[in-house]
Amino acid sequence: MTTSSQSKSNFNTRVKDLQNQLPDLLISEDVDDLKNYGRDWTRFIEPKPCAVVFPRSTEEVQSLVRWAKDKQQALVPSGGRTGLSGGAVAADGELVVSLDKMRNIISFNADDRLLHVQAGVTTAAVHAAAVEQGLFYPVDFASSGSSQIGGNVATNAGGIRVLRYGLTREQVRGLTVVTGTGERLDLNQGLIKNATGYDLRHLMIGSEGTLGIITEVTLALVSPPPPLGVMLLGLTGIGDIMPVFNACRHAGRLTAFEFFTQACVEQVCAAHGLKAPLDEVCDCYVLLEFEQATEADEAQMLAAFEQVLEAGYVIDGVLSQSDSQAEELWRYREWISESISHRTPYKNDVSVRIAQVTEFLQSLDQLVTEHYPEFEVLWYGHIGDGNLHMNVLRPEAMSVHDFHSHSERLTDVVYGEVARYKGSISAEHGVGILKKDWLHHSRSDAERALFMHIKQVFDPSGIMNPGKVI
């Protein structure tokens, strides 16, 4: 990292100018920083930012944005960079604005149960801060250790407990944002009720840095859940998922209902040396988590299990007997994405209405197999909220580049089917660069035209994450 007191000789002219204008701003042109901060978890786009800056306050972000607006310098806001749609990729000389130095927990108010944090605080640090107050922050996913709350808000992150608590949007009670004009907006300021016109907070949530940079977030914390039980069930086929889901959600309060196929289990077991989760090898599996406040809660869920077993939907199953066993069961689901990352998969993150999700999955799987029998396809996801992750594995012998141009041909098949079901081409991973050209499958011409107008209002110079989303 280079600070104002260190040599600036290698700075390009524009970066030199920035340093002169804002002498206290931390700026890096270090080759490793350019590479790391210029990319997210999509590993096939070459990062090429001009520099990385590390502001420490909302005021510093404002000064930076005003400078960028004057100079017509594109900015890419950057959190934990765990995204999968290229939303935080800087591949065209942009200036990366990292929130890494904005990691303060600003305050907690016990009456409001509100946690006010800077945007660079990790999701895991928010979890820990909530626990310290005897409370709970419910949004959770495998990348919680590195993902940052600002990025979660900018992408309206989902994860494993959407079924019970909703997406990030549901937890955001206030936001501080610096728009593309350098203006500071303090949106909603912790209120529950606020019927005063357009709620700009919700416009910022999911905007992927295209309207402004989120610098502070106020989050609503909730009461901690009672002890949670985890059940992993092996099913005869995808068509049996919905009756199992319905039986289980009648039996108790579900906090997660996840799904994966045998092919996913094989990948996780191979990558981590785990043994198979059940004695029987099954076509697919569901992992459900439920609130187990009393013994009756467990008995009811076990009765539902007996019922679906007798009906022939379920072949085998296991119920966690301890927190550590619950954690072990979660691994078969949570470790899938990371276990297959070396195969640089072609990914899709799609959703349809819950009622249609299994029919949609079967029809899509059949289409993909018909068109591209040579591809190895893994299905998993948050089936309890209609969200499926499709991962096509790169054949080991094929280069990343060849595979991605090859598998891109699948996109129209997949999104055509999503459109037929009136679903979404991105359920929880955002649009970024990767899904942008297919947005018309999920958003009408009128909607996309309004997107453009909105962008123009908040970012008239077009410097905020250009080339993303729209």
Q: Which of 165, 333, 322 is nearest to 228 (CA)?
A: 322
Residue 427 vs 464, nearer CB to ligand 2HG: 427
> Could you give the CA distance from residue 422 to residue 215 in angstroms, rounded to a whole number?
34
Residue 334: CB minimum distance to ligand 2HG, A = 7
Residue 143: CB minimum distance to ligand 2HG, A = 8
Which residues here bind ligand 2HG, judged by CB under 6 A? 84, 142, 336-337, 347, 349, 389, 391
Residue 58 vs 348, nearer CB to ligand 2HG: 348
Residue 41: CB minimum distance to ligand 2HG, A = 8
Residue 84 vs 115, nearer CB to ligand 2HG: 84
Residue 60 vs 349, nearer CB to ligand 2HG: 349
Which secondary structure element, helix H or strand E, spans residue 26, and what is its range? strand 26-28
Residue 258: CB minimum distance to ligand 2HG, A = 8
> Could you give the CA distance from residue 281 to residue 264 in angstroms, rounded to a whole number?
12
The structure tokens listed for 50 are: 């001009």
CB 20 within 8 A of CB 9: no
The structure tokens listed for 10 are: 């290698």
Residue 87: CB minimum distance to ligand 2HG, A = 14
Residue 56 vs 347, nearer CB to ligand 2HG: 347
The structure tokens listed for 232 are: 């992993």
Task: For 430-441, give the DSSP string.
Answer: --TTTTGGGGGG
Which residue sits closest to ligand 2HG, CB atoms considered?
337
Residue 347: CB minimum distance to ligand 2HG, A = 5
Length of the chain counted residue by residue? 470
Residue 191: CB minimum distance to ligand 2HG, A = 31
Q: Which of 318, 335, 330, 305 is nearest to 243 (CA)?
A: 305
Residue 32: CB minimum distance to ligand 2HG, A = 25
* Cβ neighbour number for residue 183 with a 10 Å cutoff: 13
Residue 390: CB minimum distance to ligand 2HG, A = 8
Radius of gyration of the chain (CA): 23
Q: Is the dihedral of CA 109, 115, 120, 126 positive or negative?
A: positive
Residue 391: CB minimum distance to ligand 2HG, A = 5
Task: For 219-267, give the DSSP string.
Answer: EE-BPPP--EEEEEEEES-GGGHHHHHHHHHHHS-EEEEEEEEHHHHHH
Residue 388 vs 464, nearer CB to ligand 2HG: 388
Task: For 370-430, give the DSSP string.
Answer: HH-TTSEEEEEEEGGGTEEEEEEEPPTTS-HHHHHHHHTHHHHHHHHHHHHTT-BSBSSS-
Task: Tally the C-alpha atoms within 13 A of residue 468's C-alpha that lie toward its C-beta.
Answer: 32
Residue 94 vs 334, nearer CB to ligand 2HG: 334
Residue 18 vs 336, nearer CB to ligand 2HG: 336
> Could you give the CA distance from residue 131 to residue 124 in angstroms, rounded to a whole number?
11
CB 52 within 8 A of CB 17: no
Residue 137 vs 141, nearer CB to ligand 2HG: 141
Residue 218 vs 442, nearer CB to ligand 2HG: 442
